[in-house]
Amino acid sequence: MIRIKGSYFLLPIFIQFISFVAYSQNFHVSIYGSDNNSGTSTHPLATFEAAKRKVNEFKAKHDLKSGVINVWIHGGTYDLKNTFSLTELDSGTLANPIVWQAVKGEKVSITGGKTLPGKLFRKALPKEIVARLSPTARVNVVSIDLKKYGISDFGSYKQYGHALPVIPSPLELFYNNEPMPVAKYPNSGFIKIGKVVDKGSVPRIGDKSGKGAKFHYTESRINRWVGQKDIWLQGTFNYGFADDCIEISSIDSIDNLITLTSPHLYGVASGRDFQQYIALNILEELDSPGEWYLDRSDGILYFWPPSDYSKAVFSVSLLEKPIITLKNTSNCTIKGLQVESGRGIGIYMENSSNCYISDCVVRNMGTSGIFMGQGAESFSDSLSIDDYDGKAVSENIGSLQNHIYKYTAWDRNAGHDNGIIGCEVYNTGSGGIYLSGGSKLKLIKGNNVVDNCKIHDYNRRNKFTWAGINIDGCGNSVIHCEIYNSDWQGIYVHGNDHVFEYNEIHHVTLNSDDTSPWYIGRDPSDRGNIVRYNYFHHCGNPNRMNMGIYCDDSSTGVTVFGNVFYKMSTNHGVLFSNSGWHLVMKNNIVVDPISVTAEISAHYYTWAAGQTVNMFGEKGLLRKRLTENVHFDKPPYSTRYPELLSYLDPIITGKEWQGMRSKGNELSGNVIIGGPAEPVSLKGGEYATMSSTNNYVSKDDPGFVNMKGGDFTLKESSIVYKQIIGFQPVPFREMGLRKSR
């Protein structure tokens, strides 16, 4: 095995890149090629399917000993009408890996859409359209007849959001490789929800009547939309962690009332500053550069170009299935490609082994960038999480979050020993990368890794719920990544024995409530997770309920070691837990937090006192997760995590259990500069516990190399090494992306 900065990789990950192999068999693909060609550099093939056939023919005819089979893809844009699929038949071997890669120095774009030159757009607009636009828009908006160029599948808007399935986007427009916003109001900011007349159905408590809410609006501009169809409101309709996108049923301009077609999970409420929305898909609001609107009845797309469009590159997304899939595939690498402009997933991996996505850019996707493992499909249309049931499905995210909430030990069949390496994932609709692998039930490690990747701007459609990296399973790792620019979370965790190290996470959790840059929660069996040597900075919103390392309801067994936290605007602590066990925060550096370093809440004795039987009782959620989803009292759990065996022991039969009381939490050996003098806040009485020992707390520079310049490396002469015996140097300069990506 080879070790790089604290993280282990199996040797095969490097085999595909070494230059001293016994031989190299090469095939070539070009937009100027022909599938009748031999596939050489001078006679390239035209399609990936033809290249697959050539590779498999070569494998069948040759008894290979060692070497790489390369498929070189030459520069250009490859608009795919169907998924490019690699299966078991397309696998390599450890000795003979297959690498699909861009020719060095050439830009290869694999799209799930159609590219349109700017010259196809026209300035002349129908009179009836002109009448609906503002005077300024009339002279700037251009149009194109998509049907004229063979595009008739526009998709359709459907409700999406919290507790709802992740669904492919409808057709989207990209201009010079950037997603353009559909015509909306307002162009910036939000509209506050007015007085609620009828909150609508509340599916969260079992109300399945399907009634939409009714509430007042105060913006007179909304009167202009009376009679228009297919207008959608996207916003936060009740809790600040639950977004939704719901169609307007009607607008009453006399009483200033909006009625929605369908309910929000929690019912609609108003009065809090985050209970707000924007309105989407309105021709009359096409009033600023970059906005567009598609008339689905005749296929005319209207657009206000933000710059000279005559030489611009336009594309529209068409493919709802993943652009590239690797299913039951082994020893294959996808390298150096741009994968973009699809309505669904960019790259999908299932039951793969020793497969790598390397140095790729995955962007402008309707759902996620790279998705490892299966998704789920609900058996019903119910919004309620509690009565959810469904099945695993391939090539689709769907109801993954609801499925794994119910079946916490679900093995998503992601495979093992795979890597996503040196990639950039951005401008995605519903999260960046989904990492899975291993068996939570059997505590078998998947050894899948996301390494040296940049993930940002990953919530274009689902504003909340889906993080930069979502991880589950057992024994996977996220290392040397940079995650940033999101209203939502950086990393969302399920599972066991994952390692998160040398990452930089910043400017996330910017506009959501009850959220954090790193989150785990509601399953005491999710143990053994390590957060080590990461740089968290400029996270959170002081006007929202935010946490840093959020070990939510009944989390256990998380180690937070050697990290640097700077300018954390998380008003419930750099670390927070509701009644957690064995949460250890040690040897970290915390600089200028707005709140305490750690906050522990005894929530089962305060605001959640009425939920204890539902959590710990005979049919309780936590009991089910510990005794049915896994078996915490039998191997491997009883031997790996013996300290968990007393979790369900009764204190008062039928009323109180050991797991309700915090236990084994530790804040020790940390450097805390700024913030409150007392680094720990205990909320809710005597059962909120955390020991606080040997921490260095000061307002002054303890001897950083350059505190003002943001270099939090401690000098060898730092007072910290005298004040905290055994304090280990924190490798600040190694955190984040490696310089040679």
* Tens-place pLDDT, residues 459-489: 999 999 999 999 999 999 999 999 999 999 9
366, 343 Cβ separation under 8 angstroms: yes
Q: Which residues pair with 340 in a beta bridge?
A: 111, 363
Is pLDDT of 191 > 90?
A: yes
Confidence of residue 18 (pLDDT cuts 50, 70, 90): very low
CATH code linked to domain 2-109+319-508: 2.160.20
Q: How far apart are CA 415 and CA 283, in angstroms?
A: 46
Alpha-carbon distance 523 to 558, whole Å?
12
Ramachandran assignment for 52, one of left (phi > 0), alpha (psi -120 to 50 degrees), beta (any other): alpha
Rounded to an integer, the average pLDDT of 39-62 is 97
- What are the φ/ψ torsions at residue 468 (nearest 5 degrees)? -60, -45
Inform me whether the pLDDT recorded for 16 exceeds 80.
no
Nearest of 695, 705, 704, 612 to residue 654 by alpha carbon:
612
pLDDT confidence bin for 56, thresholds 50/70/90? very high
Q: How far is CA 43 from CA 28, 68, 676, in A?
A: 8, 20, 70
Mean pLDDT of all residues in 305-334? 97
**Above 80 in pLDDT, residue 524?**
yes
Residue 10: pLDDT band (50, 70, 90) is very low
Q: Residue 137 in contact with residue 304, Cβ under 8 Å?
A: yes
Alpha helix segments (H runs only) across 476-628: 612-616, 621-624
Calculate the average pLDDT of the chain: 95
What is d(CA 251, CA 223) in angstroms, rounded to the nearest whole number? 8
Stated as kind and residue range, the H or E segment containing 140 is none
Domain boundaries, the chain: 2-109+319-508, 114-183+286-315, 185-284, 518-596+627-741
- Determine contact, residues 207/198, Cβ cutoff 8 Å: no
Distance (Å, rounded) from C-alpha 161 to C-alpha 507? 22
Is residue 7 scored above 60 in pLDDT? no
**Which of 520 and 18 is assigned the larger pLDDT?**
520
In this structure, the number of other CB atoms found within 10 A of the CB of residue 242 comes to 21
Q: What is the pLDDT of residue 739?
A: 80
Amino acid (1-letter code) at residue 410: W
3, pLDDT greater than 90 = no
Q: Residue 532 pLDDT more than 70?
A: yes
CA Rg, the chain, in Å?
27
Residue 4 pLDDT > 80: no
At residue 251, the pLDDT reads 98
* Cα 497 to Cα 69, 230, 443, 535, distances in angstroms: 35, 46, 8, 20
Residue 16, exposed/middle/buried by CB under 10 A (0-12, 13-18, 19+)?
A: buried
Chain centroid to CA 441: 24
**pLDDT band per the 50, 70, 90 thresholds, residue 740:** low
Identify the pLDDT of residue 62: 87
What residues contact 163, with CB distance under 8 A and at least 6 apart?
203, 242, 265, 383, 384, 385, 401, 402
Q: How confident is the model at residue 741 (pLDDT cuts 50, 70, 90)?
A: low
Residues 6 or more apart in contact with residue 659 via CB below 8 angstroms: 524, 554, 579, 581, 616, 622, 647, 648
Three-class DSSP category at 342: strand
In this prediction, residue 14 carries a pLDDT of 41
The pLDDT of 664-683, averaged and rounded, is: 98
Say if residue 128's pLDDT is above 90.
yes
